């Protein structure tokens, strides 16, 4: 919302400077985005007098001009403007001045053999208008050599205010002035609107034609005919005012609507009445109906949009933009003025659908004053009569002003309770009254909001009004109290576990990805999810039409894109939802990780292709971080079909699967057009059992010396290493801290069909240092347990 300082002072009696006004506006909740001197960018431009303008010796459409700028000899320039002539005054730029429209520095040049040392400027070149058919002509009384900004009336500060969506009342200079007056920065002096008597019945009737469910699209429509007008330029002060805020003056009839829109926040539209057929109506558009708007674009409408139409066609997109076919021109003689009350939500939706923004939409979607429909029409009539002449008809109205007023019980104590301010009751009444509220009765008062404040709904809104006008700087700083020095935890156990998992994987070198829960249906089928249970009825994209049954498809898709861009070695992970179906509750929170390639190369160690053991180690590290203790559940060979059948495993507690891991199946890699090797794991976070050491630190080292012993067992070739490890661990659970396999041998010295498996056992006492006898006893239990469970014998 832009306005000039002089424009504001038409409504506000004040001596405050622009900077003071800007500070006060921000203090009362109307954030000032900028305060700009409209003439600042023109400070290098001066008034020039054309001493001579003659035909260019080498070009028919160019003229050689001598321009006097008040000092020194006249300056020679070459000008192509058709209105350049001897005796005129214009805006002159010397060589070295930056031209606003292009940002380029003006240089001395030679045009068809004649040197040009400057430029006589058009409105477009100075970014004052779109006119570039001729140069700017200044009044005869403009002083030669003075700054052009003064002669153009651009020596006024322009303030730009950011208006929040709830403050439609401040989309006008009148509304801004009202808030400033309430804040004590002046006195509101906006004159009331006097009605203009009609001299004859309006020849056009107005109707509202809406189905019952859409009656709110236009609650009121007022209009009148003015005949015998003479359309031309608007008064100079109006043009200067519009130019200062960045609007292009068009004609008196159009400028009336722009002026009132900014001055009073009342959007209007003027139709060339001779281009209308029959009577006027507000109705819903027809599906597929088209309208050529004033911006030169044709818009296709639908039945949710409101339009203003005659008996033949729609001529205006209600609350957004008028049509070009009934627009006013220099030939307009009879004009129909429209002032209506359109629904804010429908207007906003229409603008969004059509991707069309306008000053009218900006105001209607924030809410306009319903009481000002007819006064706005009267004000427009008066200005048209003053500028263009003519004879007005009587006003015709369809619908009426909605009565949205309601009294709100309001106590001064509410200001203290919600706003933290102790404001005297008389001051509260003064503030609310200055803002246009009606206050009656003793406390609690009955407060009625003015018609232009549709955002006021209850006592809390009134507190906001009082506090912002009284001054937020008066709100005392009070420390927040809390029952304990440390804030109470807000994360659930599941959220804490997810954080631990993410941190643990990041520490191992993984990079986190965040992706959609939707994948292509063909991809979902590879992961057991190609059925209808996961199919989306309304996908956000054609290739994202299924819920993912696993996180791996998302990781593989990301890795494939990275690999195609030259990133061969990757470590990615994601935590999120995997879906068994689209029904509520049929999803699991999971964590998945993917290794691709040979890993990061380093001079300290050799690399190797990602394999099943890498994925297993990552999975176990994740589980240990989540549980706060090592995972002891058994691991079985085999995993879902998207893993390699001989290089994968499943970890489960009974029938509950906690995790799967392994190398990715070659067919899956081919589907994603990826090169292996690739290994991955998936862990169902919700299935992980709670730590038995809940509330205790995961790290509790023993003060006593640990002892390590190695055992080489000869077992049947079919016995797995995991069976031997579990058997050894079961021998002395309280004492054995870790068991690891460090050697596998088959060959000379070992019977055929048998193998030698060497394990390292770490004994960690908790109650005292182990004696030799205790160590020997533990070793015997280990050998016995391995022999009983797997038939193992110590290798001699």
Residue 181 has a pLDDT of 95
Give, as one character, the DSSP assignment of residue 451.
T
Residue 731 has a pLDDT of 92
| Mean pLDDT of the residues in the chain | 91
Q: CATH number of the domain at 493-687, please?
A: 3.30.930.10
407-469 is classed CATH 3.40.50.20: no
In the predicted structure, residue 711 carries a pLDDT above the cut 90: yes
In the predicted structure, residue 700 carries a pLDDT above the cut 80: no
- Model confidence pLDDT, tens digit, residues 134-148: 999 998 999 999 999
Q: Among 168, 176, 601, 493, which Cα is nearest to 344's?
A: 168
How far is it between the farthest Cα atoms of the chain?
A: 125
Rounded Cα distance between 336 and 206, Å, is: 11
Both tokens assigned to 516: 């959609």
Average pLDDT over residues 461-483: 86
Buried b (16+ CB within 10 A) or exposed e, 376-409: bbbbbbbbbeebbebebbebbbbbebeeeeeebe
- Model confidence pLDDT, tens digit, residues 658-670: 999 999 999 999 9
Give, as one character, the DSSP assignment of residue 79.
E
Residue 693 has a pLDDT of 56
In the predicted structure, residue 767 carries a pLDDT above the cut 80: yes
Cβ 210 vs Cβ 283: under 8 Å: yes
**Confidence grade of residue 528 (pLDDT, cut at 50, 70, 90):** confident
- CATH superfamily, with its number, for domain 707-794: Ferrodoxin-fold anticodon-binding domain (3.30.70.380)
445-448 sheet: strands from edge to edge: 407-410, 445-448, 438-440
Rounded Cα distance between 573 and 554, Å, is: 10
Average pLDDT over residues 598-614: 84
Continuous segment of H or E residues that includes residue 497: helix 493-507
Residue 130 has a pLDDT of 73
Surface-to-core class of residue 346, CB atoms within 10 Å of its CB (0-12 exposed, 13-18 middle, 19+ buried): buried
The residue extents of the domains of the chain are 2-39+157-188, 43-151, 206-399, 407-469, 493-687, 707-794
- Model confidence pLDDT, tens digit, residues 24-60: 999 999 999 999 876 777 889 999 999 999 999 999 9
What fold, for 43-151? OB fold (Dihydrolipoamide Acetyltransferase, E2P) (2.40.50)
- CATH superfamily, with its number, for domain 206-399: Phenylalanyl-trna Synthetase, Chain B, domain 3 (3.50.40.10)
Surface-to-core class of residue 603, CB atoms within 10 Å of its CB (0-12 exposed, 13-18 middle, 19+ buried): exposed
With a pLDDT cut of 70, the percent of the chain lying above it is 98
Both tokens assigned to 388: 């263009």
Residue 150 has a pLDDT of 85
Beta bridge partners of 464: none
- Model confidence pLDDT, tens digit, residues 187-234: 999 889 999 999 999 999 999 999 999 999 999 999 999 999 999 999
Residue 529 has a pLDDT of 82
In the predicted structure, residue 272 carries a pLDDT above the cut 80: yes
Cβ 452 vs Cβ 376: under 8 Å: no
- Model confidence pLDDT, tens digit, residues 299-313: 999 999 999 999 999
In the predicted structure, residue 697 carries a pLDDT above the cut 80: no
- Model confidence pLDDT, tens digit, residues 151-178: 887 778 899 999 999 999 999 999 999 9
Place of tokens 């330029």: 233
Q: Among 203, 198, 338, 361, which Cα is nearest to 270's?
A: 338
Q: CATH number of the domain at 2-39+157-188, please?
A: 3.30.56.10
Same fold, 2-39+157-188 and 407-469: yes
In the predicted structure, residue 694 carries a pLDDT above the cut 70: no
In the predicted structure, residue 492 carries a pLDDT above the cut 90: no
């Amino acid at each position: 919302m832009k306005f000039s300082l002089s424009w504001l002072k038409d409504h506000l009696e004040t001596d405050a400077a622009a900077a003071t006004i800007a500070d006060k506006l921000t203090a009362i909740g109307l954030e000032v985005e900028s305060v700009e001197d409209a003439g600042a960018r023109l400070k290098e431009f001066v008034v020039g007098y054309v001493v001579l303008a003659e035909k260019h010796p080498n070009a028919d459409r160019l003229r050689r001009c001598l321009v006097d700028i008040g000092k020194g000899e006249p300056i020679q320039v070459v000008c192509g403007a058709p209105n350049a002539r001897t005796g005129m005054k214009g805006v002159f730029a010397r060589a070295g001045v930056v031209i606003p429209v292009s940002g380029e520095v003006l240089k001395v040049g030679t045009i068809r053999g004649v040197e040009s040392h400057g430029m006589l400027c058009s409105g477009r070149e100075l970014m004052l208008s779109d006119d570039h058919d001729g140069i700017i002509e200044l009044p005869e009384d403009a002083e030669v050599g003075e700054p052009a900004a003064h002669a153009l009336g651009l020596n006024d500060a322009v303030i730009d205010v950011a208006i929040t969506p709830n403050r439609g009342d401040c989309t006008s200079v009148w509304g801004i002035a009202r808030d400033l007056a309430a804040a004590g920065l002046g006195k509101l002096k906006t004159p009331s609107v006097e009605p203009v008597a009609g001299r004859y019945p309006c020849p056009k009737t107005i109707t509202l034609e809406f189905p019952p469910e859409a009656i709110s699209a236009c609650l009121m429509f007022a209009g009148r005919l003015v005949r015998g007008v003479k359309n031309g330029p608007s008064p100079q002060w109006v043009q200067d005012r519009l130019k200062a805020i960045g609007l292009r003056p068009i004609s008196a009839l159009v400028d009336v609507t722009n002026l009132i829109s900014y001055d009073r926040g009342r959007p209007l539209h003027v139709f060339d009445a001779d281009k209308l057929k029959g009577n006027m109506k507000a109705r819903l558009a027809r599906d597929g109906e088209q309208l050529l708007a004033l911006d030169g674009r044709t818009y296709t409408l639908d039945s949710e949009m409101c339009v203003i139409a005659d008996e033949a066609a729609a001529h205006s997109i209600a609350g957004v933009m008028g049509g070009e076919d009934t627009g006013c021109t220099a030939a307009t003689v009879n004009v129909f003025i429209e002032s209506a009350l359109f629904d804010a939500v429908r207007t906003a939706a229409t603008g969004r659908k059509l991707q069309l923004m306008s000053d009218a939409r900006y105001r209607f979607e924030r809410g306009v004053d319903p009481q000002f429909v007819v006064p706005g029409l009267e004000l427009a009539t008066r200005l048209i009569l003053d500028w263009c002449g003519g004879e007005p008809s009587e006003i015709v109205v369809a619908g009426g002003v909605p009565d949205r007023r309601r009294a709100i019980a309001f106590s001064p104590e509410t200001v203290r309770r919600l706003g933290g301010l102790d404001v005297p009751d008389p001051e509260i009444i003064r503030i609310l009254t200055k803002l246009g509220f009606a206050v009656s009765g003793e406390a609690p008062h009955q407060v009625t909001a003015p018609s232009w404040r549709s955002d006021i709904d209850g006592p809390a809104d009134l507190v906001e009004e009082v506090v912002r006008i009284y001054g937020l700087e008066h709100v005392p700083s009070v420390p927040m109290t809390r029952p304990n020095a440390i804030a109470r935890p807000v994360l659930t156990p599941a959220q804490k576990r997810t954080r631990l998992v993410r941190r643990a994987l990041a520490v191992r070198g993984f990079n986190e990805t965040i992706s959609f829960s939707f994948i292509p249906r063909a991809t979902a089928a590879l992961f057991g999810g190609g059925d209808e249970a996961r199919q989306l009825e309304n996908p956000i994209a054609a290739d994202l039409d299924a819920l993912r049954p696993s996180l791996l498809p998302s990781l593989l898709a990301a890795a494939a894109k990275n690999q195609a861009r030259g990133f061969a070695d990757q470590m990615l992970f994601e935590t999120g939802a995997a879906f068994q179906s689209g029904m509520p509750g049929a999803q699991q929170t999971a964590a998945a990780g993917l290794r691709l390639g040979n890993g990061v190369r380093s001079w300290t160690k050799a690399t190797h292709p990602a394999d099943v053991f890498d994925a297993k180690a990552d999975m176990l590290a994740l589980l240990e971080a989540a549980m706060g203790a090592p995972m002891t559940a058994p691991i079985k060979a085999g995993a879902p079909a998207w893993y390699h059948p001989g290089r994968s495993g499943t970890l489960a507690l009974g029938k509950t699967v906690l995790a799967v891991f392994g190398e990715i199946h070659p067919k899956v890699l081919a589907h994603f057009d990826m090169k292996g090797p690739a290994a991955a794991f998936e862990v169902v976070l919700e299935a992980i059992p709670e730590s038995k050491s809940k509330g205790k630190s995961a790290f509790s080292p023993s003060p006593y010396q640990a002892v390590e012993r190695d055992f080489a067992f000869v077992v049947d070739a079919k016995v797995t290493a995991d069976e031997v490890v579990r058997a050894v661990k079961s021998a002395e659970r309280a004492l054995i801290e870790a068991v690891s396999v460090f050697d596998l041998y088959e060959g000379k010295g070992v019977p055929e069909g048998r193998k030698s498996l060497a394990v390292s056992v770490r004994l960690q006492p908790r109650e005292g240092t182990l004696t030799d006898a205790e160590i020997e006893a533990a070793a015997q239990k280990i050998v016995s347990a391995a022999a009983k469970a797997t038939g193992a014998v110590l290798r001699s």
